[in-house]
Structure 1
Amino acid sequence: MNNAIELYSTMLESRYEKYIQNKWIWIIVALVVFVSVFSYAFYCTSRGYSFTGNVKLGWPKVWEMGIGCKR
């Protein structure tokens, strides 16, 4: 039984090897977005403004995002 599971696992890994290896790109994209938002927040607060970062998830507009500085 273990041999069959190992063979199936090996078959899946070889079939989807390209997709498994490309997972790191999403981690880098998320890291770039996080650093960008953090940098912009630091810029706003260092200039004496308030940082406003609003993310709204709702229906029918699935994604709304507003980032800015305000007095």
Structure 2
Amino acid sequence: MTDLDAQLLAAHEANDARALIRLYQLAADSAASIDAACFYLTHAYVFALEANHPDVEHIRARLVAEGREPALS
């Protein structure tokens, strides 16, 4: 288990949405494939939406750039 994995598990255990948003974005940044990165970004996006976090649009833009979320008209 990596340190990032341990931090993610701890953040889930603590229900720490801010940490989860940050950590899932970090996981996306270091992912081995675009599919894995988008998997992590989707998690970050869901937690950000639930928390009304200021990173919502940034995360969404990353998903749009990868074709995983439709662009707004």
Q: Same fold by TM (over 0.5)?
A: no
TM-score in terms of structure 1 length? 0.31
Kindly name which structure, 1 or 2, has the bigger radius of gyration based on alpha carbons: 1
Give the structure, 1 or 2, with the largest relative contact order (CA under 8 Å, sep 6 or more).
2
Structure with the bigger percentage of strand: 1
